[in-house]
Chain A
Amino acid sequence: MTTTSPRRGRIVGAALAVALLPALAACGGSEPAADAASGAASDTVTLITHDSWAVSEDVLAAFERESGLTVKQVPMGDAGTLANQVVLTKDSPLGDVVFGIDNTFASRVVDAGALEPYTPAGLDASAQPYVLGDGALTPIDRGDVCLNTDVAWFEEHDLPEPTTLEDVAKPEYKDLLVALNPASSSPGMAFLLATIGAFGDDGYDGTGWTGYWAALRANGVKVSDSWEDGYYSEFSGAGEGGTRPIVVSYSSSPAYTVSEDGSATTTHALLGTCFRQVEYAGVLRGAANPAGAQRLVDFLVSQPFQADIPGQMYVYPADASVELPAEWTQFAPLADEPFEVPAADIAANRDSWIEKWTATVIG
C-alpha cells in the first residue's frame, strides 16, 4: 500500500495515479473497442439489457462471424431500471440496441422519443400484432404472469384447485393467496394488470377491479414486496416452509418444479388468471452504429436466437412458429387467452392504479 508513503511527493503521486485510474484503464485497452457513444468503429455494436439477459455462446458467435460485428453486452439493472435508464439518457444513448423493455414500461420509452423506429424484415407474422410505437419496439419474447398452486396441498386438504380470478376471492380459499406489491415487483404489477384487464372499472358485479381487490383483502390475501419473498417465504409449493398454496408467479414456474424422473410437476399455473408480458428490443435514437444496431435486431428475431430463448431466459419466443422444448409444452404452456391492457393505458394510469391498489389493499 502506498497510502502513507514517507515522502509527500510520493503520496501525491500515488493519489494522482489512483485519480487517473479510470482514464488509464480506459486507455489500457481492456475492452476490444471503444464505446458506442464516442463514434466507435462500426464493427462493434453495444447491446444494453436487463440482468436476466442470456444467450448461448455458440449462437452469438455464429452471428458475430456472419456479420463481422462484435457484440458488447451490457446488463444494467432490472426491467424497470433499464427502461428508466433509456429514458434518462435519450440525449446521449448508452448503446446501440436495448433489449428487455416490457409492455408495462414500453410506452414510457416510446413517448420519450428514445428509440428509432425499425421493424426487421424477418419478423414472423405471429409476432407482428405485438409491435409497438410504430415499429419503435420489436417483440422478442413472451411470458405469462399467472397464479400458481401447490398441487399436494390441495390434494391433502381435499379441496379442488381454484381456476379463475373470481375463485380465489371465495370463502373456501380464505387465507390461501400470496399476492405481490405492484409498487415494488414487476410480476406484482403484471398480476394487477391481469385483474384490471379482467374486471375493468365495472366488472366483478359492477365494483370493478378495486372491488375485486377489496374482496381479496377481506378474504385474507397476503402481500409480499418481491417475488422472491412471496414464492420462497410464503408459498407452500416452494418447499421452504411457506404455508399458503396459491401465489402470483409465472406460467413457466411449474417447469422448475418437475420431479426427478420428469413425469410430473408439483405446482400448477392457473392459465385463466394470466397477464401476457412481452419483452422488446429497439434501436436507440442517436446510436453510434445504426447499421450494426439494425443487424443486431434482425438477429434477435431470427430463428437461431428465437429457438435459444427458452433454454436461456426461460420465456417463450415471440415467434410462435419456433419449436419449444418438450417439457415446456407438457408442464409450462402459455395461456390461450391472457388478459390484456393496452400499453398506452398502462403508461397513462400506472401511477394512479398503483395508488388506488395501495389504498384498497394496504389501507
Chain B
Amino acid sequence: MTGRRPLRVAPPAVGWAVAAALPLAFLGVFFAWPVAALVARGFVAEAGGLDLTGLRDVLGAPRTWRLLGTTLAQAAAGSAGSVVLGLPVTYLLYRTRFPGRTLLRGLVTVPFVLPTVVVGVAFRALFRPDGLLGFAHLDETFAGVVLALVFFNVSVVVRTVGGLWERLDPRAEQAARALGASPARAFRTVTLPALAPAIASAAAVVFLFCATAFGVVLVLGGAGYGTIETEIYRRTTQFLDLRTAAVLSILQLVVVSAALWAAGRARARREHALHLEHEDVAAHRWSVRSLPDVAAAVATALVVGGLMVTPLAGLVVRSLRHGDGSWTLDNYLALGTTGGRNALVVTVWQALATSLRTALVATAIAVVVGGLVALVVSRRPRGSGARRAVGALDAVVMLPLGVSAVTVGFGFLITLDRPLGLDVDLRTSGLLVPIAQAVVAIPLVVRTVLPVLRAIDPRLREAAAVLGAAPGRVLRDVDLPIALRSLGLAIGFAFAVSLGEFGATAFLARPDSATLPVVIFRLIGRPGAQNYGMALAASVVLAALTAAVMMLAERLRGDRAAGAVGGEF
C-alpha cells in the first residue's frame, strides 16, 4: 500500500493481511505441517524422547557429502544450461512475430509434462551405441542426466522470462542503438538488466527442479549415480528409515533455502519499475535482415530441433509402429481399451478425463493461492517488518519445489486424518491429489505473474490513488490489465504441471481412478510390445493435450488490457 491517504490505511492493511494469511494457511496445512511432522518422526527415539544421533551418523558419512556434491553440480549445470539455451528461444517466441509462433510456444512446453519414465526411455534410445547420440557415450553419465534435465526445464525459462520480455518497452534498447551501441552491447547493458529478475526467478525454479529430480536420474544416471533426492526416496520406501531420511530432508531444505536466498538477492538488486508495453506493441515482425532475429532463429532451431524434437520424434514414430516395425494406428486405437490382456483397469480416455478434472481443480487452487501471493509480494510496504514479512512469503512459497515428493506424501499420511476438525479422512478421499499438485504449481504461478506485477511503476498506483481511486479500483485499473496476460500463462503452467505430475500423485490415494501419467507408468510396467506401444501412444496424447492447453492459455488475454502502460509523467 502506498499509504498516501491516511484515512484509508486501516482497511487496506487488514485486506493485505488476509490476502497474505490465506496462502500461508494453505501452505501451512498442506505442506509445512506434513513435512515437519514426518521429519520430526526421524528425531524421535524408539522409546520416545529426542534422538539426534541420526544427525551425527548421516552428516558424518562421506557418502552424504558425495551425494550433496552430485546434487549441487547437477542442479547448477541443469539451471545454467536451461538459461543459456532458453534465452534465444524466449527472444524468438516473445519478441518477434512470425507465422506458427503460437504452435511453437505450445510445443516448447511439451517436455515439461511428459512422464519421466517415458522421457528416460526416449533418451536411453538416443544414447544407445546405435542411437543418434551414441557417439557421445552419454549413457549413465552426469552429462546425460543434465541434458535430460535441460530438456525438461528449458520451457520453464522460456515461460518465466517470456512473460516479462514480451512486454518490455523496446525504445530503451532502440535509444542505446541510436547512440551507437552494438546490438550485443545494447542487449547486455539495457535488456539483460531489465530481464534479470525474471532470469533469476527462472534459474531458481529450474535449480530446484533439478535438485529434486527423481525419475530421470534413476533411469539415466545408472545404478551408481545418486543424489540427496534419490537417497531420501530409497531410505524411505525401501527401509522406512525415517531417521536418515529426516536428516537428508533437512539437508535438502538447507540447500534449497540457500539457492532461494541467492536468487532473491539477485532479484532484489535488479528489480525496478520498467516501462511495460502491450505485448503486441513490443514484439516486432521477424526479419531476415535483423542479425539478432536470425541468430535467435538458428539457436531455436538447434535447441528445439536437437533437444526437444529428436527425443519426441522417436516417441511418436515408435507409437505409430508395431513391435515388428510395420506402420500402424493400432496403438492409438487401443487407447479405448484396457490394454493387452487387461493391463489397465480404466481406458486411457477415462484416465485422460480424470487427469483433466484433477487439473481443473488443481489449477483453480494454484492460481488463487499463487495469485494472492504474487499480489502481496509485489507490494513494497513502508515498514521494515512488513517488508521482511513480504520477502519471507516470497521465499517460503518456493520451498515445495525443493522438498522431496516422498517426504510430502508420507507427511500427508500422518497428519491429514480428519485435519482441523473436519469429519473427512483426507488421506483416502482423493482430494489430496489436486491439492498436492497445486502445492507444486503455486511457485510457478507466482514466478510467472510476479515479475510483471513488480515491474509496474508504483507511481501509477500512487497517481490513481491521488486521483481518488479506492485501493480496489487501483487493483482493477492498474494491476489487473497488466497481470491478466501473465495470468493466462500461469494458468497454462499450473494446468501443465498438474497434467504431468507423477511423483506425489503416485503416493496418494486415488479412489476414483488413475491419472494419465499413472496409467502410462502401469502400461510401461508390463512386458509386451502392445503395452509398450500403448504407453508411448498415451504419452503422445498427453503431450498433444499439454501443447493444446498451453496454446489456449496463450490466447487468454484480458480484452480490457490497456494498450501501452508506462509511467509517463
Whether B529 and A228, one on each chain, are in contact in the complex, defined by CB atoms closer than 8 angstroms, is no
State in angstroms the CA–CA spacing of A23 and B124 once bound together: 45
For window 202-241 of B, CB contacts with A under 8 Å fall at: 218-219, 221-224, 230, 233-234, 236-241
State the total of A-B contacts with C-beta under 8 angstroms. 231
A16-B22, A256-B527 known; A2-B368 Cβ under 8 A: yes
State in angstroms the CA–CA spacing of A31 and B509 once bound together: 14
Q: Which of A18, A95, A311 contacts B342 (CB 8 A)?
A: A311
State in angstroms the CA–CA spacing of A21 and B429 once bound together: 13
Q: Which of B240, B423, B476 contacts A6 (CB 8 A)?
A: B476
- Report the minimal beta-carbon distance from A51 to chain B, rounded to whole angstroms: 6
- Whether a CB of chain A sits under 8 angstroms from the CB of B426 is yes
Number of chain B residues close to chain A: CB under 8 A = 95
- Report the minimal beta-carbon distance from B14 to chain A, rounded to whole angstroms: 9
Q: Which of A4, A12, A14, A19 contacts B483 (CB 8 A)?
A: A4
Whether A4 and B375, one on each chain, are in contact in the complex, defined by CB atoms closer than 8 angstroms, is yes
- Whether a CB of chain A sits under 8 angstroms from the CB of B345 is yes
Whether A23 and B223, one on each chain, are in contact in the complex, defined by CB atoms closer than 8 angstroms, is no
A22-B435, A183-B234, A256-B528 known; A92-B417 Cβ under 8 A: yes
Q: Which of B128, B239, B427, B531 contacts A94 (CB 8 A)?
A: B427
Question: CB-nearest residue of chain B relative to A108?
Answer: B240
- Report the minimal beta-carbon distance from A335 to chain B, rounded to whole angstroms: 17
For window 227-275 of B, CB contacts with A under 8 Å fall at: 230, 233-234, 236-241
Whether B475 and A74, one on each chain, are in contact in the complex, defined by CB atoms closer than 8 angstroms, is no
Whether A3 and B121, one on each chain, are in contact in the complex, defined by CB atoms closer than 8 angstroms, is no
Whether B15 and A12, one on each chain, are in contact in the complex, defined by CB atoms closer than 8 angstroms, is yes
Whether A51 and B528, one on each chain, are in contact in the complex, defined by CB atoms closer than 8 angstroms, is no
Query: Which residues of chain A are within 8 angstroms of B183 by Cβ–Cβ distance?
Result: none
Whether A14 and B368, one on each chain, are in contact in the complex, defined by CB atoms closer than 8 angstroms, is yes
Question: CB-nearest residue of chain A relative to B118?
Answer: A228
For window 328-354 of A, CB contacts with B under 8 Å fall at: 350-351, 354
A239-B324, A241-B128, A350-B238 known; A34-B368 Cβ under 8 A: no
- Classify chain A's interface size: 35 or more
A16-B22, A22-B422, A35-B428 known; A72-B511 Cβ under 8 A: yes
Whether B367 and A77, one on each chain, are in contact in the complex, defined by CB atoms closer than 8 angstroms, is no
- Whether a CB of chain B sits under 8 angstroms from the CB of A87 is yes
- Report the minimal beta-carbon distance from A84 to chain B, rounded to whole angstroms: 5
- Whether a CB of chain B sits under 8 angstroms from the CB of A227 is yes
Q: Which of A2, A3, A92, A229 contacts B120 (CB 8 A)?
A: A229
B 113-140 binary contact with A (CB < 8 Å = 1; else 0): 0000100110011001111000000000
Most buried by B among A15, A22, A256: A22
For window 42-89 of A, CB contacts with B under 8 Å fall at: 46, 48, 51-54, 72-78, 80-81, 84-85, 87-89
- Whether a CB of chain A sits under 8 angstroms from the CB of B514 is yes
State in angstroms the CA–CA spacing of A3 and B363 once bound together: 12
Query: Which residues of chain B are within 8 angstroms of A11 by Cβ–Cβ distance?
Result: 15, 19, 372
Query: Which residues of chain B are within 8 angstroms of A351 by Cβ–Cβ distance?
Result: 238-239, 241
A-B pairs with beta carbons under 8 Å apart, 11 shown? A1-B367, A12-B15, A15-B372, A38-B424, A73-B511, A84-B410, A89-B414, A232-B532, A238-B529, A240-B125, A350-B238
Q: A94-B425, A257-B527 are in contact. List 5 more A-B contacts (CB 8 A).
A: A2-B368, A15-B22, A18-B368, A89-B427, A228-B525
Give the interface of B toward A (CB within 8 A): 11-12, 15, 18-19, 22, 25-26, 117, 120-121, 124-125, 128-131, 218-219, 221-224, 230, 233-234, 236-241, 318, 323-324, 340-345, 361, 364-365, 367-369, 371-372, 375, 409-410, 413-414, 417-418, 422-429, 431, 435, 471-473, 475-476, 479-480, 483-484, 487, 491, 506-511, 514, 518, 521-522, 524-529, 531-532
- For the complex of A and B, list the 10 residue pairs with the smallest distance between their C-beta atoms, beginning with the closest: A256-B528, A26-B424, A6-B476, A35-B425, A3-B371, A223-B223, A256-B527, A8-B15, A37-B425, A233-B124
